[in-house]
Amino acid sequence: MNPADNSPLWIRGARVIDPSAKRDEAKGDIFALDGKFVDQLSAADQAKARVIDGAGLLVAPGFVDLNCRLGEPGLTPRETIRTGTRAAAAGGFTTVVTMPDSLPAADNVGTIQLLREICTRDAAVRVLPTGTLTKGHEGKALAPLGTMKKAGVVAVTDTTSGVQNNEIMRRALEYAAMFDLVVLDHCQDSSMTEGGQMHEGAWSLRLGLRGLPRAAEEVVVSSDCLLAELTKARIHLQHLSSGGSADIVRRAKAKQLAVTAEVSALHLLLTDAALAHYGTSLKTNPPLREEADRLALIAALVDGTIDAICSDHSPCTATEKDCEFDLAPFGAATLETAFAAAHTALVTGGHADLALLIARLTHGPAKALGLSAGTLKAGALADLVLLDPKAAWTPTSADLSSKSGNNPLVGRALTGRVRATFVGGRQAFGA
């Protein structure tokens, strides 16, 4: 991003999709002035504006990612704010919500303030911090949610640790509701997954790997929905992987509970069959499941049961992943390929149109957390992405900005590519 470039911006003749305004124009113009969208530029501003020819391209609000890890503080061998946010910009994301499982954990004001200072210095996109739900995300004692809210967290979560005690989870939801904080939950009953390496099914049996059953996720999704009904608190279910989980959320929404959900782009594209050759870059938590689950998640995304597509960016070093499958850590670095993966799965796959895909990357996640993002409306921050939906490409390691070496889509043919990303009217990615 070039901080010196604050000239007016005029994107001319692109297809415009803005789900927040129910706007879908085959050809339109977008204007930005002083970092915000405007309905029109004056003649004087037009004369000095940077004009981008949008012919053949699509302009949309900048994507909003509700689930990523950026390495800092403490995990800089995997990622840094500088590299991670540049990867986000390359993926079309202008707002990212980063998880608190750092070293030290973001369970106190000092750590959160440190993260905000690093972001002020190094971030290429907007980074919104979360805090842990319990101290050290250990699931035992509640973290100081009120003081963390004052320090700037937008939500609270124990990430992949998850709160395993329903009484603590109930009290945490009640406590979070006092401060109007959304609770994000990684749904997994750890007593059912110890030693698990991939989805429990035919492929885990064939590969000789211990499995993680769907029920381990679905049990917690069920209990979270029951607790949301009991406490009236807002809960967002992270990276669902099971068709059964989608059915539970669908019933919860029919009861008008304050429950939202997301799915990762990788889970829309691939299944556990992709692990046939023990590729550790595809070892994720939650795991890739079966084709029936993939199709059920797509159906839930299309009918609105699932509100958002996330990157679930979990960077690891190449060395960490270069080992036996059982010993490799969970995680995939996916910020830069999330749009292409979702576009390939949904649009190229014939399951949804571009408008729905854009909605689940912009308005859907922004609404789930109540964020001021994901819109092209006049007065909003000028965060936008220019896309080439027809572009066919195959990611290579040289294409990627992330510091990590575990993007599982390197070498895989995809369709749909980000051409440019603007944050506050200033270019963060693209020529």
Interior angle at CA 106, CA 105 and CA 109, nearest 5? 135
360: how many CB neighbours lie within 10 A of its CB? 26
d(CA 254, CA 269): 27
Residue 63 · residue 363 · CB < 8 Å = no
Q: What CA–CA distance (Å, rounded) separates 278 from 263?
A: 23
Round to whole Å and give the CA distance between 137 and 151. 18
Give the count of alpha carbons within 13 A of 61, CB side only. Answer: 33
Residue 3 has pLDDT above 70, yes or no: no
Q: What is the pLDDT of residue 233?
A: 97
Catalytic sites, residue numbers: 312
Q: How many CA atoms lie within 13 A of 29 on its CB side?
A: 14
Quick check: 321 and 277 in contact, CB under 8 A? no
Query: Is residue 75 exposed (0-12), middle (13-18) or buried (19+ Cβ within 10 Å)?
Result: middle
Contact in structure between 342 and 268 (CB atoms under 8 Å): yes
Each domain of the chain, given as residue ranges in start order, spans 9-58+382-429, 63-369
Distance from C-alpha of 21 to C-alpha of 3, rounded to nearest angstrom: 29
Express each pLDDT in 407-424 by its tens digit: 999 999 999 999 999 999
pLDDT band at 161 (very low <50, low <70, confident <90, very high): confident
What φ, ψ does residue 392 adopt, rounded to 5°?
Answer: -105, 130
Compute the average pLDDT of residues 367-380: 97
Digit-coded pLDDT (tens) for 285-326: 999 999 999 999 999 999 999 999 999 999 999 999 999 999
At 4 the pLDDT is 44
pLDDT at 140 over 80: yes
The encoded tokens of residue 217 equal 């996720």
- Residues 374/363, Cβ–Cβ less than 8 Å: yes
- 154-192 burial by CB neighbour count: b if 16+ within 10 A, else e? bbbbbbbbbbbeeebbbebbebbbeeebbbbbbbbbeeb
Written as six digits, the tokens of 160 are: 């992949």
Residue 401 CB neighbour total at 10 angstroms: 18
Angle at 137 between CA 360 and CA 318, to 5 degrees: 70
Query: Measuring CA to CA, which residue among 91, 2, 14 is closest to residue 51?
Result: 14
**2 phi-psi bin (left φ>0, alpha ψ -120 to 50, beta other):** beta
CA 65 to chain CA centroid, Å, is: 3
CA distance 10 to 16: 13
Query: Residue 286, preceding bond cis, omega within 30 degrees?
Result: yes
pLDDT at 2 over 60: no
Residue 113 pLDDT grade (very low, low, confident, very high; cuts 50, 70, 90): very high
> Among candidates 335, 341, 288, 340, which has minimal Cα distance to 313?
335
Going from the C-alpha of 188 to that of each of 116, 211, 243, 396, the distances in angstroms are 30, 13, 15, 33
Q: Say if residue 181's pLDDT is above 80.
A: yes
139 phi-psi bin (left φ>0, alpha ψ -120 to 50, beta other): left
> Which helix H or strand E contains 244, and what residues bound it?
helix 243-254
- For 9-58+382-429, which CATH class? mainly beta
CATH topology of domain 63-369: TIM Barrel (3.20.20)
DSSP letter (8 states) at residue 270: -
Alpha-carbon span 247 to 237, nearest angstrom: 13
How is residue 94 written in tokens? 């202008």
Instruction: In whole angstroms, give the CA distance from residue 83 to residue 75.
Output: 12
pLDDT per residue as tens digits for the range 60-106: 999 999 999 999 999 999 999 999 999 999 999 999 999 999 999 99
Residue bearing tokens 């594209």: 269
Residues 101/107, Cβ–Cβ less than 8 Å: no
Give the DSSP H/E element, type plus range, for residue 221. helix 214-231
Contacts of 6 (CB under 8 A, 6+ apart): 34, 35, 425, 426
> How confident is the prediction for the chain on average, in pLDDT?
96
List, in sequence order, the alpha helices (H) in 164-201: 166-178
Write down the pTM of the prediction.
0.96
